[in-house]
Amino acid sequence: MTQQTLNKTEKKASVALASVFGIRMLGLFLIMPVLAIYAREYPDYSAFLMGVTLGAYGLTQALLQIPLGMLSDRIGRRPVIVGGLVVFIIGSVVSAMADSLWMVAVGRAIQGLGAIAAAILALAADISREQQRTKVMAIIGMCIGLAFAIAMVAGPLLAAWIGLSGVFWFTALTGVLGIIVLMLSVPKMNTRSARRDALPVASEFRQVLRNGQLWQLNAGVFVLHAVLTAWFITLPTQLQAAGFEPSLHAWFYLPTLLLSIAVMVPMIIRSSRSDQQVFWFRLALALLIVAIAIAGFGGGGSWSLLVALVIFFSGFNYLEASLPSLLTRIAPPGSKGSASGLYATCQFLGAFIGGAAGGWVLQHYQITGLGSAVLVLLGLWLALTSLMKNPKAVTNVALSMAAVPSKQEIEALNDKLLAIAGVEEIRYAEDDNISYLKVDKKRYDERAVKSLLQAYQTDE
């Protein structure tokens, strides 16, 4: 078995878990491109209530993301994931059967109660070797992005065919499918110990909360998803006003997403090859500002909306991909799970605030008012980036201390490791018996580390 490739179990499990995650996110995303149009059919419609409905899942996701991840450490990953999917199905049924927009919002909130992201990522960590974990997580991340793209195209087609309630019945079926995939395709694992690269750990939150650079990323992802949700409160109706029937919206989103990917990929490649990530970060943020300005004040024509969407998704997709990458570099060694838990909480909270506040602004100040509010928010985020620094090309390394006979020797060994070139920070997790290193990839002397550890290896 080579260390450079996924083994058979890792391949099967990563694809299955990515499918479960993607199926669930598809169900949450499907109504984004259609709710603004079909919500008007309910007797209690208002722009504010529609915005709350769009973002309601974000509030409950934010509240339960970290607790359910920790619960999976106690009772196991699979029970939490299956339970979360069952709750998601219940929420979908409530929304499908609702005769008022308020009840649709309740159903959306129930959907969000099944916050299984942390448990899925922890299970992915359980079934993968340390050397392959990044690949497994990348497969899951790509599946989430694919789910969003599919939802933008499939949502309008489904709504035109079976209506909004039919879309929710379809999302309930996706939840059932997710359970089937999980039970049949994901290997059973009995691990219940915390995986610090995937799960939040309560004792680490004080350290994570004090990290100013992490809070820049948390604030950024909050704004990013607030802006996304707020724009989709009005974008479908803007397309309708520009002459596109709702059933044709899918064919508007498809080319804009493809064109934006063609712009985003070179940005990712160029930024990864340079030490100027902050510059590319600001460029992507500037693209969002330009897009919102065109959409809000460009006259609302079809061509202006097309250009705005391409520009917006170019910047959005870049930021959505680069923010987690920056988080991995900045998070303290061994605390990626805790940092990611707080990050995800801010992300989902942004979706809720963006929907609720955006709906209120639209109800009282129309599209231009909403566009102005979003531009102010993006401007504040751009100003905040003045505090950002270009991160070093660092990575995290986990070293098992199981072969080291005493705590005193572990402390002495960690001191020696810290003196090795490229090792910038070490944190020893006693309950895991693992030393977590943050290392500079350009200077890291892996051979010296292996040489130190070799003294504790036993011949079998």
- CATH H-level superfamily of 1-189: MFS general substrate transporter like domains (1.20.1250.20)
Q: Which CATH number fits domain 204-391: 1.20.1250.20, 3.40.50.720, 2.40.50.140, 3.40.640.10?
A: 1.20.1250.20
Q: What is the dihedral of CA 308, 310, 316, 319, to 10 degrees?
A: -120
| Cβ-based burial of 265 (10 A; exposed 0-12, middle 13-18, buried ≥19) | middle
Tokens of 65: 């993301």
Predicted structure pTM score: 0.87
Q: Can you name the CATH fold of 394-454?
A: Alpha-Beta Plaits (3.30.70)
Tokens of 431: 């309950």
Whole-number pLDDT of residue 2? 45
Whole-number pLDDT of residue 157? 95
Given pLDDT bands bounded at 50, 70 and 90, which one contains residue 460?
Answer: very low
Half-sphere exposure of 29 (CA within 13 A, CB side): 19
Quick check: do 204-391 and 394-454 share a fold?
no
Residues 346-405 have pLDDT tens digits of 999 999 999 999 999 999 999 999 999 999 999 999 999 888 887 777 777 878 888 788
Do residues 78 and 24 make contact, with C-beta atoms less than 8 angstroms apart?
no
Residues 111-169 have pLDDT tens digits of 999 989 888 888 887 777 766 766 777 788 888 888 999 999 999 999 999 999 999 99
Three-state secondary-structure class, residue 428? strand
Residue 197 phi, psi dihedral angles, 5° rounding = -90, -5
Residue 290 has pLDDT above 90, yes or no: yes
Residue 1 has pLDDT above 50, yes or no: no
Parse the chain into domains and list their residue ranges: 1-189, 204-391, 394-454
Task: Please give the C-alpha separations between residue 221 and each of 8, 38, 214, 228, 366, in angstroms, as whole numbers.
Answer: 35, 28, 11, 10, 25
Tokens of 116: 């299984």
Do residues 103 and 53 make contact, with C-beta atoms less than 8 angstroms apart?
no
